[in-house]
Amino acid sequence: MRSIRLSVCMPTRNFGPFIGQTLESVVAQATSEVEIVIVDGASTDNTEQVVGRIKQRFPRLTYHRREKNQGVDRDLAKAVELAQGDYCWLMSSDDVLKPGAIDRILHEIEFGHDIYLCNRTECDRSLHPVKDRSWLGREFSDHVFTLSRKSELIAYFNASQSLGGLFSYISSIIVSRKKWTEIKYDEVFTGSNYAHVFRLFSIIKNGGVLKYIKAGLVYCRQGNSSFSNKGAAHRMLIDLNGYELLAERLFMDTNIRAAFKGVMQRQHVWFLLAGVRNDVDDIKVWNELETRLIAFNYPRTILKVARVFGSSKVLIKSGRYLKRIEREIRIFIRKVTGKNAALSQVVASRSCD
């Protein structure tokens, strides 16, 4: 029997309606070198029964059920701990692998890079595709990055279009299990939802190499996030608090930290902030958000515009048109100013595996 090369590591809790489809997308293309490891944070629905039925057909499935919910940070760490593969594909239990995704990654890990980051196709709750999402600008192709180099790390941060480029979306991440286990789990991140990001950037700081894969290998089911059940403001605070903690623990250099934090402004742009303000009934919650946003260097004028627009449904509707205009302006500015030129030069000067 061949050894396990790839472990699909999946934390879950009460995703019974979706996890079956996720697992089927793995089983349908898994070779004898692939296993599945699930850590269930004490689900109260039919998750265990769904997994059990699939395990009867796919014996290389490990199911570990906790007696009490310990949160996604601990569950993901436990899944990798139980894994046997050379590499671990971190996977949300409501997303779906595209056909051919496993073959692609089995080929990629032959090169032995430490972390692989692929893109995704965003779908509605029923998994109907809506749009493709690239973590870096669309001008960037597959490339190997040595982000332990300061200049390359800053250029990479400046090119990241959203927090997905900073590993916020777990289903796009494949990591060397050996490198992962060399980094000790940091209890400070328990409950942040981003303990895995600390480990991944710690690997990078220790000289780890990242390969960016332009192809979208995952269908991402949206409208189902357990992080959003308390509203848009709470969801945004998860990002702001988690990435503030990451910045403090990972990046002492002020230039690196500024570039790292700058990605947040591309994740949560002004018209999204206006939508959050419109969703918030308690002004104290919005004031807390503003305080966190200022810490990420959001201009106060932008926050004021978001506050004004967010207070009016009429202005919110008009903001949708402004969003389209802003998108065209950004494309124009990028063409004129050569934004992302620093990373483009790095890409042009180095070969891709």
What is the per-residue pLDDT for 228?
A: 57
What is the per-residue pLDDT for 310?
A: 80
Same domain, 210 and 295: no
Same domain, 134 and 196: yes
Rounded Cα distance between 325 and 31, Å, is: 47
In a domain, 59, yes or no: yes
Same domain, 137 and 18: yes
Same domain, 34 and 149: yes
Give yes or no for residue 347 having a pLDDT over 50.
no
Highest-pLDDT range among 1-10, 91-100, 132-141, 217-226 = 91-100
Same domain, 102 and 164: yes
Same domain, 174 and 261: no
In a domain, 353, yes or no: no
Pick the last residue of a domain from 224, 247, 263: 224
The DSSP line for 267-297 is: HS-HHHHHHHHHH---HHHHHHHHHHHHHTT
Highest-pLDDT range among 43-57, 226-240, 273-287 = 43-57
Same domain, 35 and 174: yes
Domain range for 317 is 232-348
Instruction: Give the rounded percent of residues in the chain with a pLDDT score beyond 70.
Output: 86
pLDDT digits (tens, 9 = 90+) for 115-163: 999 999 999 999 999 999 999 988 899 999 999 999 999 999 999 999 9
φ and ψ at 103, to 5 degrees?
-60, -40
In a domain, 208, yes or no: yes
Give yes or no for residue 349 having a pLDDT over 50.
no
Same domain, 46 and 73: yes
Same domain, 305 and 336: yes
Tokens 């919110």 — which residue? 316
Same domain, 237 and 115: no
Domains held by the chain: number: 2
Give yes or no for residue 326 having a pLDDT over 90.
no
In a domain, 1, yes or no: no
In a domain, 73, yes or no: yes
In a domain, 15, yes or no: yes
- Worst-scoring range by mean pLDDT, 90-104, 219-233, 339-353? 339-353
Instruction: Tell me the one-letter amino acid at 274.
Output: A
In a domain, 258, yes or no: yes
Alpha helices in the chain (DSSP H): 16-27, 47-57, 72-82, 101-108, 150-159, 177-181, 195-205, 232-250, 254-267, 270-279, 283-295, 300-310, 313-337, 341-349
Q: What is the mean pLDDT of residues 184-192?
A: 97
- Worst-scoring range by mean pLDDT, 200-204, 258-262, 344-348? 344-348
Give yes or no for residue 74 having a pLDDT over 80.
yes
What is the per-residue pLDDT for 271?
A: 79
Which of the four pLDDT bands, split at 50, 70 and 90, describes residue 352? very low
The DSSP line for 93-122 is: TT-EEPTTHHHHHHHHGGG--SEEEEEEEE
Six-digit token string for 120: 């995704």
Q: What is the mean pLDDT of residues 253-267?
A: 96
Residue 209 belongs to domain with CATH number? 3.90.550.10
Question: If you average pLDDT over every residue of the chain, what do you get?
Answer: 89
Pick the last residue of a domain from 224, 258, 282: 224
Same domain, 220 and 236: no
Same domain, 247 and 201: no
pLDDT digits (tens, 9 = 90+) for 275-301: 888 888 888 999 999 999 999 999 999
DSSP state at residue 183: S
What is the per-residue pLDDT for 338?
A: 54
Rounded Cα distance between 332 and 303, Å, is: 24
What is the per-residue pLDDT for 225?
A: 64
